[in-house]
Amino acid sequence: MYENILAENQNGVLVITINRPAKLNALNQATLKELKEVITGVYTDTAVKGVIITGAGEKAFVAGADIAEFSGLNAETGRGLAQNGHDIFFLIERCPKPVIAAVNGFALGGGCELAMACHLRVASPNAKFGQPEVNLGLIPGYGGTQRLIQLIGKGRAMELLLTSDMINAEQAHNFGLINHIAEQADLVGKAKEILEKIFTKAPLAIGATIASVYAYFDNATNGFDTEVNEFGKLVETADFVEGTTAFVEKRKAEFTGK
C-alpha cells in the first residue's frame, strides 16, 4: 500500500516501520506524506489501540531527513518544509492513543525529532541520538530545539544542539531522553509490553491524559484549564462509572472506551 513505510496491525498495536534501509530510513517528503496519512487514520480507527514506530534493518531508526531534498530551498520553501514536518509530528504528539518509538540504531536529526514526538521511547543498546544540523548550516526544523529541552533540560539540550554531539542509549536513558533500553531483538516486544499495560487502563482517560500533558507545552493553551475540562468530561463516561465501581467492589475494571 505504501512505498516507504510498512504498517501492520498486530492485535490492536499498529507497528509502523520506516522502510528505506538503503537510505538509513531517511525521512524524505514522500515518507513524511505516508506517515501523515497513517497517523491521521489512527485517530479514528477503532481497531488500533496504540502505535509503535520503528525503522527497518538493524542500523537505523531514522538517520535524519533526506538532505538531497534541501537543495534549492529559499526562505519561503524552507519555512514550508519545516512547517510540514511540524504539522506531522504534532499529529503524532497529540494522538489520543499511545505512541511509542522503538529506536533501533541511529536517531539523528529528523529521526531524533520523530522519536521525541512520540509519547514514550525505548531504544536498543546500539542506538545513537543527536541533532547534527549545525554541521549543515541549519537548525533542527521539525521541533528539535523545543522537544529536546522539554525532555532533557536546557543545559544538556543546548550543549547537544550547539556541538552536534551524539549520545548513546545509556546516556540518553540517564538524561531522560528515553524510557527503557532493550536488546534489539526484544525492542518491539518491550514497546508492546508497555502498551499492553496501558491498554488495561481506561482509553478515554489515556487520551485525556495525553491532551492535558501536552497542553502544558502549548503557549496558546492553559494546561490547568485543560485538566479541569478533561476531568469534567470524564466523570460523565461509562468508563468512569465502571472504574469507580470496580474499585469499590475490589475487582478488575472492564473498560469499553465509552
48 CB-near residues (< 8 Å, 6+ apart): 9, 12, 13, 14, 41, 42, 97
Buried b (16+ CB within 10 A) or exposed e, 148-173: bbebbeeebbeebbeeeebbebebbb
CA-wise closest residue to 204 among 249, 245, 246, 236: 236
- Tell me the C-alpha to C-alpha distance, in Å, between residue 49 and each of 121, 173, 228, 234: 17, 26, 25, 19
Burial class (CB in 10 A: 0-12, 13-18, 19+), 114: buried
- Grid coordinates belonging to 114: 520523530
| 3-state class (DSSP) for residue 201 | coil
- What residues are annotated to the active site? 113, 133
- Grid coordinates belonging to 172: 540518553
Radius of gyration from C-alpha coordinates of the chain? 19
